[in-house]
Every structure is written in structure tokens, then in C-alpha cells.
Structure 1
Amino acid sequence: MNDRPTPRALLLAPCGLDCARCAVFRHGEIGELAGRLRELMGGYGRLARMRAQEVPVLADYPRFEAVLEELSRPACPGCREEGTRCPLSNCLARDCVKERGVDFCFQCADYPCAAQFAGMEKLRAAWLAKNGRMKAVGVERFLEEQEGEPRYPG
């Protein structure tokens, strides 16, 4: 491939997922915002206990604090680095693109292969849609389009 993706484009996983917007990505906005919220909430636990009778959901505040703590410590370097923590352990793209000398699945001569997300219809459909769109409009335009979309659609 003769035109290399920008550094921002390389934050996209080879399969097309946006690592930069993932909750476990080490340098992502979700981790930064969770850390900031954790700081801002400071000692709110004491007030949450006091308000729990009035607002029952606040009785679960310690669980929220634990989730916020976890979200504020993301550790994944992204799918293009060693030590990835992507929950899609059945994703073949990470190794496959290296073997084939491409940056993204859609650039492969065998795309779409039958192996990627085989037996996982919803995930495979999302993979095909993302790669199809990148192929149609280019990686940079695809990134621009993704900016306004939720990272974790229902």
C-alpha cells in the first residue's frame, strides 16, 4: 500500500473499531473523563449515604465509585500494539493484516474473508459495514463520520 494512514487513522483497529474511543484504551477520552469525574466527586460518598433515603439509588454509590475507578485506569495500548486488551478475542484481523502487509481488512485481496467473526452475525455485520464504508470513502473520511457516533451502539 503506497499511502500510509495518518497517526490518528492508526488508532483504528485493523478490523475498523475505533480504539481511541474505547473505554479501556490507555490514552482515550473515556479514561480521562472518568478520572476527572472521580476527582470532582471527591468525598461525595459521605453525602451519598446521607441522601440515600431520599434518593434510593445513591445507596449504590460505592458500586458507582468502583466502576468509575476502573474506567479511570484504562490499560490497553490499542490493537496495533503488544498487550492489547480488546474483548474481541475472536478477532483475527490484528495478526492477519500484519501477515498480509495491509493496514485494514478492506485492503486485503481476500476481503471479506469467511473467517473474521464467523458465527457471530451481529459482529460480522458491523465489521463488514465499517470496512465497506472505509473502502467507499477512505479512512480519514470514515474517521470524521465516526466522531459524532456513539462508540458503543446498542
Structure 2
Amino acid sequence: MNVENLYTYCGVSCSTCARYYENMLLVKLAKALAELVDAHGFQEWMPAEVGEFDYKEFRKGLAFLADKKSWLVCRKTCKEGAGRPDCEIRRCCEARGLSLCFECEDFPCEKVVGNEELMKRAKSFMELGKKAWLNLLSRKIERNYEHHTGKSYEIKITKSREQNKFK
């Protein structure tokens, strides 16, 4: 996919979202957590230790988060029609033929003033220029950066040598 289609009109990279189908960090983490809590027998002792803890509901939540076919997983980018259908920034950019709102001659306008995160992205874009800004986004993607939390995550699940011997 063209890297320019991976960022939204407001400058967020879909690939830095834990819900994006090519990233699926949230799905991987939920699956790993479910496997770990089950293997440790939390279903037996957690309700007794915590009291009002409903383990079945907890596992139902993890199963939902781990389901890569659920509505939670974005299969399209903003520019392919995902995201909020009522987004003013998207409508404006589409009407003006822009790939980013910060490329607009009227930027900043009333649609974006007050959106601190967007203004930070715009400042970075203006300082770096488009090519360097896209390179920065690519590096964030490589580092498993998640834009909602502002952190990079690494999850690596491998089979033990013993498991590999018997396969």
C-alpha cells in the first residue's frame, strides 16, 4: 500500500494504531493475556481473591479483543472510508483534493484549532517537510509505535524448544 494512504487527513498513521489489521497489536496482546491467565489457573483462584470479579466476563472481553474478525479491527484506512463518517477534516480535504489538512492554504482553520495533537503533527510536518515527515512515520511503524498511547510495544511469542522438538 502507498504510504500516503496509511495516514489520515489529520496526519495520524493508521499503521501506528493497535486496531489496524496489519498491526493487530491489540489482538496479539489479548490472545497472549488470555493464554497466560488460563494457564495460571486464574479462573479458579481470581474470583476468591478479588471478590466481585467475574472471570467469565473478563474472558469474554479478552475473546472479543482477540477476535481479528470483530468490528474492533480496522480493515480500511481513513482514506479508504474507515473512521468517523462525520469527520469534518475528511470532508474538507476530500472537497479540496488534499491528502493532509496541514497542506491547506487556510490551515489552521476553525476545524482544527484547539486540537493539540493535530497541531503537534502539523508543526512536525512544517518543520521537517513532507518527505522527512513520512520517513518519521515509517520509523515509528518499524518501532511498533502506538499513537493512542505514545509508546512503542514489542510482543514476541515463540514456542519453546521442547514444543518445537515434538512437532
Fold shared per TM-score above 0.5:
yes
Asked if the contact 1:49/1:58 (under 8 Å) is kept, the reply is no
Matched, 1:41 2:39: no
Letter of the 1:109 partner, please give it.
Answer: E
SS at match of 2:94: helix
Question: Does 2:44 match 1:50?
Answer: yes
User: By how many angstroms is 1:62 displaced?
Assistant: 3.1
Which amino acid counterpart does residue 134 of structure 1 have in structure 2? F
Structure 2 gaps of 5+ residues are: 151-167
Aligned to 2:80: 81
What TM-score does the superposition give when structure 1 sets the normalisation length?
Answer: 0.68
Unaligned 5+ runs, structure 1:
1-5
TM-score by length of 2: 0.63
Change in Cα spacing, 1:140 to 1:91, as seen in structure 2 (3 Å) is same
Aligned to 1:142: 136
Partner of 1:15: 10
Q: Following the alignment from structure 1 to structure 2, what is the Cα–Cα distance between the partners of residues 128 and 71?
A: 31
Could you give the per-residue CA deviations for residues 87-106 of structure 1, whole angstroms, max 9, x where no partner exists? Answer: xx663222221211121111
1:93 paired with 2:92, answer no
The residue that corresponds to 2:62 in the other structure is: 68
Question: What does residue range 96-111 of structure 1 map to in structure 2 within 5 Å?
Answer: 96-111=92-107
Partner of 2:24: 29
1:114-133 to structure 2, matched below 5 A, reads 114-116=110-112, 121=114, 124-133=115-124
Same amino acid, percent of matched pairs: 19
Instruction: Identify the residue that residue 163 of structure 2 maps to in structure 1.
Output: none
Which is bigger in relative contact order (C-alpha 8 A, separation at least 6)? Answer: 2
Judging changes above 3 Å, is the alpha-carbon distance between structure 1 residues 54 and 75 closer, same or farther for their aligned structure 2 residues?
Answer: closer
**Is residue 11–residue 18 contact of structure 1 (8 Å, CA) maintained in 2?**
yes
Q: What is the Cα-based RMSD across aligned positions, in Å?
A: 3.4
Cα distance change, pair 7–145 in 1 and its aligned pair in 2 (3 A):
same
Match in the other structure for 1:3: none
Q: CA deviation at 1:11?
A: 1.2
Q: Between Structure 1 and Structure 2, whose CA radius of gyration is higher?
A: 2
How many residues are treated as equivalent by the alignment?
140
